[in-house]
Structure 1
Amino acid sequence: MRIKASIERIPGGMMIVPLLLGAIITTLFPDMGKTFGSFTGALMTGALPILAVFYVCMGATINFKATPYILKKGGTLLGTKILTAMGIGFIAAQFLGNGMISSGFFAGISVLAIVAAMNDTNGGLYMALMGQFGKKEDVGAYSVMSLESGPFFTMITLGVAGLAAFPWQTFVGAVLPLIVGMILGNLDKDMREFLAKAVPVLVPFFAFALGAGLNLQNVWKAGFLGVLLGASVVLITGLSLLLIDRLIGGNGIAGLSAASTAGNAVGVPAAVAAANAAYAPLVPSATALVASCVIVTSILVPIVTAWWAKRIGVKSQIV
């Protein structure tokens, strides 16, 4: 059986399939974790410890010795993505506050969901598209952009929007696993290779644990709204990234390739709520919306990027 290959045919499959599996189990057997307890219960409720390990391993892949070009390209795209999310989050905060819409078509939407969906780029998708339409240096720019991973910048954005005050210890705690990983990976290349192998392996495990905290009825309700939010991520961040990429001498392809939502972002609402319990009621709907964005942006970004490449006369390097 080709289970892995079948899952990977689905955009964001290694994140989405385990997440949906966990949600299905919890919806059908809500007390399963408590009933079996032990390791089974821990797996269904242990998203945060798994995410902590994931961020250490992710940090190990970031090289301090990135070239000036990589720093310029990656830093510019990173800053633009974060500032765009921050601006949209600030505007949304004027209408939503630190809660969410409870009824109507937009039921479930919150600043937490919006910012989490916009803050983090799908690195695998970006590197695949740049490998097809860009340069090797552009692929390497993700080593800088991967600093988006985790809840750190989302918490900063929420703070700037005036929605939450996180103590400095919380900020340090959110980014410390990533920093530890970066230090280990740069001190020892063997350690980098060792930890880097765990990054893709951990994704389905924390996705399953996150899914186990979801009710499929909420996911279903978020479905079409998730499609709209995903399209908005591509449109809003895509335009800003396209413009800034061209301003620094690029052709815009790298910018558009970064206009997606990373699978890692699905874990951000839960991580933020762990730092500030006021966001706990928003986690199920925000997680469902971000999961929808992962799928939608994974489909739209390659289409938009390929269209733009054709328009400016850039041919695919993959025949």
Structure 2
Amino acid sequence: MKIMKTIERIPGGLMLVPLFLGAIIHTLAPGSGEYFGSFTNGLMTGTVPILAVWFFCMGASINIKATGVVLRKSGTLVVTKIAVAWVVAIVASAFIPDGGIQSGLFAGLSVLALVAMMDMTNGGLYASIMQQYGTKEEAGAFVLMSLESGPLVTMLILGTTGLAAFEPQAFVGAVLPFLIGFILGNLDTDLREFFSRAVHVMIPFFGFALGSSIDLTVIAKTGLAGIILGILVIVVTGIPLMLADKFLGGGNGTAGLAASSTAGAAVANPMIIANIKPEFLPVAEAATALVAASVIVTSILVPILTAYWAQFMNKKNNRNKIILQGDKKASVL
């Protein structure tokens, strides 16, 4: 059976398939983990320790010796993405109550959900798109996007906008595994190679553990809203990213559009934030469902839109070359 091949054909499948499997089990038999206990319960409820290991390995996989072009491109995209999410948080907080929207089409929507959707790019999706439609340097820009992984950026945005107050040690605790891995990986290339192998291996495990805390009836209720919000993420983050890519990153907007997705790892952020700040618990489950929907929508639409934009820009460049060649011939005559 080609199970892995099938999963890889699904956008964000390595994360989302185990997540929905866990969600199905939790929805149909919510007490499964406690019933079996022991390691099975740990696998189904161990989101935080599993993510801690993943953050460590992610940090170890990043090489500090990146080229200037890669740093310029990735830095531009990362800063722009975070800045847009920060502005969205400020604007949304003026209209969305602390407990989230309680009724209507967007029931369950909260500032936490919006920030989690918009502050992290799907680095793997970005890299695969740019390997096809961009340069090697543009594809390599996913390196710094790994810095967005985890709850730290979401915590910073919520904290700086006054939506939540986090103790300093909470920030340190959120980023410490990542930093330790980053330091060790750059001190010893063998360690980097060793730990980086686990980055993709860990994804299904925290996806399953996260899904084991989700009631699918919540996702069913947020279906249309999730689709609309996924499209909104592409529009709201994509336009500034394309402009930043063109005017600051030296590109033609393709890399910016390719970075307008929601990262699969972002699905974990609402629950992690809620564990740190219990006041977010009432909105965390609905936020997780909305972010999961946004991951699916953006994972499908971003590659399609980027492909069309890249083809459009190539045709435009070819037309300009033909015009320039014609002008040169005319001047010679």
Match of 1:298 in 2: 299
Whether the 8 Å contact between 1:97 and 1:163 is mirrored in structure 2 is no
- Asked if 1:40 corresponds to 2:34, the answer is no
Match of 1:259 in 2: 260
- Asked if 1:289 corresponds to 2:279, the answer is no
- Asked if 1:106 corresponds to 2:88, the answer is no
Whether the 8 Å contact between 1:90 and 1:160 is mirrored in structure 2 is no
| Paired amino acid for 1:113 | A
Aligned mates of 2:161, 2:23 — CA distance in 1: 31
Aligned mates of 2:207, 2:49 — CA distance in 1: 12
- Counterpart mapping for 1:241-252 below 5 A: 241-248=241-248, 249-252=250-253
Which digits, 9 at most, give the CA deviation of each residue in 1:111-158, with x for residues without a partner?
111000101111111001110011111111111121110100101111
Match of 2:235 in 1: 235
Match of 2:50 in 1: 50
Aligned mates of 2:300, 2:74 — CA distance in 1: 23
- Counterpart mapping for 1:155-234 below 5 A: 155-234=155-234
Q: CA deviation at 1:25?
A: 0.6
Q: CA deviation at 1:87?
A: 0.3
Match of 2:326 in 1: none
Match of 1:308 in 2: 309
- Asked if 1:17 corresponds to 2:17, the answer is yes
Whether the 8 Å contact between 2:18 and 2:204 is mirrored in structure 1 is yes
Q: Given the superposition, is the C-alpha separation of residues 80 and 100 from structure 1 closer, same or farther in structure 2, using an over 3 Å criterion? A: same
| Paired amino acid for 1:195 | F
Q: CA deviation at 1:224?
A: 1.2
Whether the 8 Å contact between 1:61 and 1:143 is mirrored in structure 2 is no
| Paired amino acid for 2:84 | T
Whether the 8 Å contact between 1:133 and 1:314 is mirrored in structure 2 is no
Match of 1:137 in 2: 137
Match of 2:329 in 1: none
| Paired amino acid for 2:37 | G
Q: CA deviation at 1:313?
A: 0.9
Aligned mates of 1:307, 1:61 — CA distance in 2: 32
Whether the 8 Å contact between 2:151 and 2:272 is mirrored in structure 1 is yes
| Paired amino acid for 2:253 | G
Which stretches of structure 1, 4 residues or more, deviate above 6 A after TM superposition?
none
Aligned mates of 1:145, 1:159 — CA distance in 2: 21
Whether the 8 Å contact between 2:19 and 2:211 is mirrored in structure 1 is yes
Q: CA deviation at 1:64?
A: 1.1
Describe the SS at the equivalent of 1:100. Answer: coil
| Paired amino acid for 2:255 | A
| Paired amino acid for 1:283 | A
Aligned mates of 1:64, 1:139 — CA distance in 2: 16
| Paired amino acid for 1:270 | M
Whether the 8 Å contact between 1:89 and 1:158 is mirrored in structure 2 is yes
Whether the 8 Å contact between 2:219 and 2:290 is mirrored in structure 1 is yes
TM-score by length of 1: 0.97
Which digits, 9 at most, give the CA deviation of each residue in 1:251-297, with x for residues without a partner?
11111110001111111111111211111121111111111111100
| Paired amino acid for 2:151 | P
| Paired amino acid for 1:254 | A
Which digits, 9 at most, give the CA deviation of each residue in 1:191-235, with x for residues without a partner?
111111111111111111111101110011111111111111111
Whether the 8 Å contact between 1:45 and 1:212 is mirrored in structure 2 is yes
Aligned mates of 2:31, 2:272 — CA distance in 1: 23
Aligned mates of 1:99, 1:71 — CA distance in 2: 39
| Paired amino acid for 1:221 | K
TM-score by length of 2: 0.93
Describe the SS at the equivalent of 1:261. Answer: coil
Which digits, 9 at most, give the CA deviation of each residue in 1:147-191, with x for residues without a partner?
110100101111122110101100111111111111111111111
Aligned mates of 1:91, 1:165 — CA distance in 2: 18
Answer with 1 or 2: which has the greater Rg.
2
| Paired amino acid for 2:60 | A
Match of 2:82 in 1: 82
Aligned mates of 2:98, 2:49 — CA distance in 1: 26
Unaligned runs of 5+ in 2: 317-333
Whether the 8 Å contact between 2:124 and 2:142 is mirrored in structure 1 is no
In the alignment of these two chains, the number of paired residues is: 315
| Paired amino acid for 1:264 | A
Describe the SS at the equivalent of 2:94. Answer: helix
Unaligned runs of 5+ in 1: none
Q: CA deviation at 1:314?
A: 6.6
- More deviation in 174-183 or 80-89? 174-183
Q: CA deviation at 1:98?
A: 2.9
Aligned mates of 1:314, 1:73 — CA distance in 2: 23
Which digits, 9 at most, give the CA deviation of each residue in 1:286-312, with x for residues without a partner?
111111111100011011111111111
| Paired amino acid for 2:209 | A
Aligned mates of 1:251, 1:241 — CA distance in 2: 11
- Asked if 1:68 corresponds to 2:68, the answer is yes
Aligned mates of 1:128, 1:56 — CA distance in 2: 23
